[in-house]
């Protein structure tokens, strides 16, 4: 018997070994093993046991690390699929399906897996115990389903009972009762002795959300998975999944790989969220991995969203997914009125106040009448640009070339109150006294960030109580929780924040939502800019719709006629989708073509441009030779990346737009590429953006 081993390295090859000498331990697929590799030893994964091997002088394995494999046979095969689809190696994909601390790089760097404590351990991150439990205010663990919910549940549960690998797209506005449907499905699956995975974006994993699942299913069977877990919690949770102690895994992206023995369902809530795509190798999309996994397991997938991704909705339109719609809210509250404020009417952008007259008026009104307000701005810091009035110079990062953001620094002495920071690397510097180019002392702070909104609000409404939530303010879950409690209790009247305030927060007293600048995402040079803007505005607007007192949303923009904003203001997904899908069709963007973004980076520019040129030619050549219809693919570039220099490295890219078959050919070619030693190549299949 020979053992085939894949190593987590960028080498598209597996290696054969003999079973270890005289240990008597059984080798099994999915185990981590130590094997001789080159002149030393390395940790790899058993991917196959075979009777025959072409290799002559074979060495024995040194050691078997896991008596019980940490990855099942299905996990090993899913990893193969990940590798093929996303252009990484089998070993790299295998490392990805394991929790971070169980990924081997070298011998000795491993966290041993302890046996699970099956009884007594509620599997709950200790930080979520105590106060958080009391924070959940829901009281009706099991409402009677509406007729619509009933019909949808029946359809999904029938598919689950038949062990059909069906994919459902559940398009339902916020508060339409989607989660209740997920819960009914989980109950059904668990009662059949199978298990389920509930994927949510990291940001939605709030204590009150976790508590809701705990209340319904009991803390014993629910596992929680997010990026703040300690190594110990990760190992314990993983082992409890593999041993069947946990039956429902609630978690962010990588929970999709939870090693359940008999998976019955995966729910991907907020399926449109970009955070489901991993931005490091392997660059997989958890939604696609979920669909592939359930397809192999004979399980159902539900993709849920109030604003489905254009790709998923198209697949539902064309029959690949089954479309289910929940158009109204459970409580039948009306949607909030959305007003678009045209900022062009207020003169030059640089002179505009943070609050337009209608927003200021609404703020005054709400604060006078005890209402709460959420103000959304998708940029942290005080001002995203510092420019010279004399010559147009702007402050840029010496390593990245991007503009520096001016941040207030509350700890600095008065007068010297801020610092310029790069959002791409750790660079910081003081604001120069005068323009380094023309010595003009008149440097101007331009644009709006969360801190500036906060300062402006405190200046104009000195008695208002204000809190801010962004990556700078909420460094820990503790701060996040404090702000949450302050808003919940009414101690805080105005909450200012980035995406962090756009979901997972449910405050019935919020009667006004202000979108300070809807255009920040609109003009990015990216094919998903309109989609993202539509999703964000819809999502943020939803924060105002939870009060019987009614809610109002004010959206400030310089593009009041843009179809994404007009449709968002009308709560009209379908009109947005119909326009967007035609654009995608015309331009040959997903879902009509797939994209592969090949990024080359390196310290010196000429090797980078040369390699990119070689790649572009190589890709064209491979596709021409493959005999694929040239109408089915296009190689764009080489061009400098949108961020052409990050952390002192030059970045160039080639983008392939192609159908499925051509993508497969392209990936086969890319596997053969051996880049020169002064550059690195990153392949992103189905990228979220081209920035
Ligand atoms: P969504 O996931 O679409 O935002 P939820 O399932 O969370 O919606 O439902 C919103 C609120 O309505 C929750 O408090 C939930 O318990 C409640 N709810 C859901 N379905 C019903 C129902 N059929 N009758 C009464 N309340 C319901
Ligand atoms: Zn100047
Ligand atoms: Zn930088």
Q: Are both 303 and 437 inside the same structural domain?
A: no
pLDDT tens by residue, 438-449:
999 988 998 899
Q: What are phi and psi of 4, to 5 degrees?
A: -100, 130
Ligand 3 is an ion; residues with CB less than 5 A from it: 397, 399-400, 422, 424-425, 427
What's the order of all strands across the beta sheet hosting 63-64?
15-18, 2-6, 40-50, 32-37, 63-64
- Testing ligand 1's pocket by substitution, the residue of 177, 199, 201 carrying the most ligand atoms inside 8 A of its CB is 177
Full-model pTM: 0.89
Q: How far is the CA of 142 from the centre of ligand 1 (A)?
A: 9
**pLDDT at site 139:** 41
Identify the residue whose C-alpha is closest to ligand 1 atom 9. Answer: 177
Closest ligand 1 atom number to CA of residue 173: 3
Pocket test for ligand 1, best of 138, 140, 143 (most atoms within 8 A of CB): 143
Using an 8 Å Cβ cutoff, are 40 and 116 in contact? no
The predicted-structure confidence for 143-185, as pLDDT tens digits, reads as follows 899 999 999 999 999 999 999 999 999 999 888 999 999 999 9
**Ligand 1 centroid, distance to 178 Cα (angstroms):** 7
Pair 537, 642 in one domain:
no
More confident residue, 572 or 501: 572
Give 320's DSSP letter: S
Q: Which two tokens stand for residue 672?
A: 């053969």
**Tens of pLDDT, residues 605-649:** 999 999 999 999 999 999 988 887 888 899 998 999 988 888 999
Domain that residue 638 falls in: 594-685
What is the structure's pLDDT at 132?
33
Same domain, 327 and 338: no
Query: How many domains are contained in the chain?
Result: 5
Q: Could you tell me if 312 and 404 lie in one domain? A: no
Instruction: Examine residue 116 and state whether it is found in any structural domain, yes or no.
Output: no
Name the residue among 383, 399, 348, 340 with its Cα closest to residue 555. Answer: 340
Distance 390 CA to ligand 2 centre (A): 5
Contacts of 116 (CB under 8 A, 6+ apart): 236, 239, 240, 243, 245
Answer left, alpha or beta for residue 686, where phi above 0 means left and psi between -120 and 50 means alpha. Answer: left
Question: Are residues 476 and 532 located together in one domain of the fold?
Answer: yes
Closest ligand (CA of 141): 1
The pLDDT of residue 141: 63
Please tell me the predicted confidence (pLDDT) of residue 110. Answer: 41
User: Do residues 510 and 370 both lie within one domain?
Assistant: yes
- Ligand 1, residues at Cβ distance < 6 Å: 138, 140, 143-146, 149, 172, 174-180, 330
Across the range 522-548, mean pLDDT stands at: 85
Instruction: Give the pLDDT confidence of 82-133 residue by residue, as tens digits.
Output: 999 999 999 999 999 988 767 655 444 444 444 333 333 333 333 333 333 3
Is position 226 within any domain? Answer: yes
Q: What is the pLDDT of residue 122?
A: 35
- What integer best gives the mean pLDDT of the chain? 87
- Give the strand pairing for 494-497 and 466-469: parallel
Structure tokens at 460: 């104009």
The tokens of 526 are what?
Answer: 């990216």
Using CA atoms, how far apart are residues 84 and 115, in angstroms rounded to an integer?
Answer: 33
CATH number for the domain including 660? 3.30.70.600
β pairing state of 167-172 and 322-326 = parallel
Last residue in a domain, options 584, 614, 634: 584
Shortest-distance atom of ligand 1 to CA 212 = 16
* Strand ranges (E), 298-352: 300-305, 322-326, 337-342
pLDDT band at 296 (very low <50, low <70, confident <90, very high): very high
3-state SS, 379-394, equals CCCCECEEEECCCCCE
Residue 121 lies in a domain: no
CA–centroid distance, 448 to ligand 2, in Å, is 21
Identify the residue whose C-alpha is closest to ligand 1 atom 25: 143
For residue 53, name the pLDDT band (cuts at 50, 70, 90).
confident
Instruction: Please report whether residue 132 resides in a domain.
Output: yes
Q: Whose CA is nearest to atom 5 of ligand 1?
A: 177
Q: Which of 424, 446, 468 is the last residue of a domain?
A: 446
Indicate whether 184 and 273 sit together in one domain: yes
Kindly identify the ligand whose nearest atom is closest to the C-alpha of 437.
2
Residue 480 inside a domain? The answer is yes
The CATH code of the domain that includes 304 is 3.40.50.300
Of 17-26, 137-146, 557-566, 626-635, the least confident: 137-146
Which residues make up the environment of ion ligand 2, defined by Cβ < 5 Å? 388, 390-391, 393, 435, 437-438, 440
Q: How close is the Cα of 439 to the center of ligand 2, in Å? A: 6
Tell me, in angstroms, the distance from the centre of ligand 3 to residue 428's CA: 8
Helix, strand, or coil (residue 645) = strand
For residue 143, give the ligand nearest its CA.
Answer: 1
Same domain for 305 and 184: yes
Identify the band that residue 496 occupies on the pLDDT scale cut at 50, 70 and 90. Answer: very high
Ligand 2 center to residue 438 CA distance, Å?
4
Q: Do 135 and 284 fall within a single domain?
A: yes
Residue 341 sits in the same domain as residue 225:
no
What is the whole-number distance in angstroms between the Cα of residue 364 and the centre of ligand 2?
39
Q: Are 690 and 642 in contact (CB under 8 A)?
A: yes
Q: Tell me which ligand sits closest to the C-alpha of residue 401.
A: 3
Ligand nearest to the CA of 394: 2
> Do 514 and 373 share a domain, yes or no?
yes
Among residues 425, 446, 467, the one where a domain terminates is 446
* Upstream peptide bond of 638 is cis (omega within 30 degrees of 0): yes
User: What's the 121 CA to ligand 3 centre distance in angstroms?
Assistant: 44
């Amino acid at each position: 018997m020979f053992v085939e081993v894949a190593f987590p390295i960028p080498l598209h090859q597996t290696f054969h070994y003999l079973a270890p000498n005289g240990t008597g331990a059984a080798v099994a697929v999915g185990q981590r093993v130590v094997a001789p590799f080159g002149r030393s030893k390395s940790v790899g994964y058993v991917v196959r046991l075979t009777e025959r091997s072409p290799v002559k002088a074979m060495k024995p394995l040194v050691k078997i690390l896991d008596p019980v494999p940490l990855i099942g046979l299905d996990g090993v095969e899913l990893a193969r699929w990940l590798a093929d689809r996303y252009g990484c190696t089998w070993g790299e994909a295998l490392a990805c399906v394991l929790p971070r601390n169980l990924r081997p790089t070298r011998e000795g760097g491993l966290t041993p897996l302890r046996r699970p404590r099956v009884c007594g351990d509620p599997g709950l991150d200790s930080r979520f115990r105590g106060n958080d439990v009391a924070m959940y205010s829901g009281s009706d663990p099991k409402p009677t389903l509406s007729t619509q919910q009933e019909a949808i549940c029946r359809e999904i549960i029938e598919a689950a009972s038949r062990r059909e690998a069906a994919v459902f797209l559940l398009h339902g506005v916020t508060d339409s009762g989607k989660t209740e449907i997920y819960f009914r499905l989980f109950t059904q699956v668990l009662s059949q002795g199978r298990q389920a995975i509930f994927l949510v974006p990291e940001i939605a994993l709030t204590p009150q959300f976790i508590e809701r699942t705990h209340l319904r299913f009991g803390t014993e069977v629910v596992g929680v998975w997010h990026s703040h877990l300690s190594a110990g919690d990760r190992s314990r949770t993983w082992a409890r999944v593999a041993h069947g102690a946990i039956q429902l895994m609630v978690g962010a992206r990588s929970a999709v790989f939870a090693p359940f023995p008999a998976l019955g369902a995966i729910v991907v809530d907020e399926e449109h969220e970009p955070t489901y795509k991993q931005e490091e190798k392997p660059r997989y999309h958890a939604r696609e991995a979920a669909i592939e996994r359930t397809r192999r397991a004979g399980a159902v997938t539900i993709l849920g969203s109030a604003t489905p991704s254009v790709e998923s909705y198209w697949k539902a339109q064309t029959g690949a997914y089954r479309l289910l719609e929940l158009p109204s809210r459970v409580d039948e509250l009306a949607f909030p009125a959305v007003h678009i404020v045209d900022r062009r009417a207020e003169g030059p952008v640089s002179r505009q106040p943070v609050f337009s007259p209608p927003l200021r008026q609404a703020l005054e009104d709400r604060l006078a009448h005890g209402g709460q307000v959420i103000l959304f701005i998708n940029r942290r810091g005080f001002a995203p640009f510092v420019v010279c009035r004399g010559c147009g110079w702007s402050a840029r990062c010496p390593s990245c070339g991007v503009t520096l953001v001016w941040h207030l620094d509350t700890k600095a002495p008065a007068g010297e109150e801020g610092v310029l920071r790069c959002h791409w690397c750790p660079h910081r510097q003081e604001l120069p006294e005068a323009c380094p180019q023309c010595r003009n002392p008149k440097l101007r702070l331009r644009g709006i960030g969360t801190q500036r909104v906060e300062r402006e609000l405190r200046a104009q409404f000195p008695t208002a109580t204000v809190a801010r939530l962004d990556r700078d303010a909420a460094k820990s879950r503790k701060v996040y929780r404090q702000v949450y409690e302050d808003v919940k209790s009414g101690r805080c009247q105005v909450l200012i924040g980035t995406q962090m305030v756009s979901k997972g927060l449910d405050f019935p007293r919020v009667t006004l939502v202000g979108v300070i600048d809807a255009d920040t995402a609109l003009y990015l040079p990216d094919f998903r800019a309109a989609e993202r803007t539509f999703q964000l505005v819809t999502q943020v607007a939803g924060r105002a719709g939870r009060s019987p007192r009614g809610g109002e949303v004010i959206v400030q923009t310089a593009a009041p006629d843009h179809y994404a904003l007009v449709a968002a203001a009308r709560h009209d997904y379908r009109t947005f989708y119909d326009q967007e899908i035609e654009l995608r069709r015309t331009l040959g963007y997903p879902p009509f073509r797939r994209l592969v973004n090949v990024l080359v980076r390196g310290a010196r520019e000429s090797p980078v441009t040369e390699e990119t040129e070689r790649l572009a030619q190589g890709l064209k050549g491979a596709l021409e030779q493959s005999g694929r219809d040239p109408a089915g693919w296009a190689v764009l570039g080489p061009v400098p990346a949108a961020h052409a220099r990050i952390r002192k490295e030059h970045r160039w890219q080639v983008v392939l737009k192609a159908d499925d078959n051509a993508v497969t050919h392209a990936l086969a070619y890319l596997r053969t590429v051996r880049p020169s030693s002064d550059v690195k190549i990153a392949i992103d299949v189905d990228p979220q953006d081209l920035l």
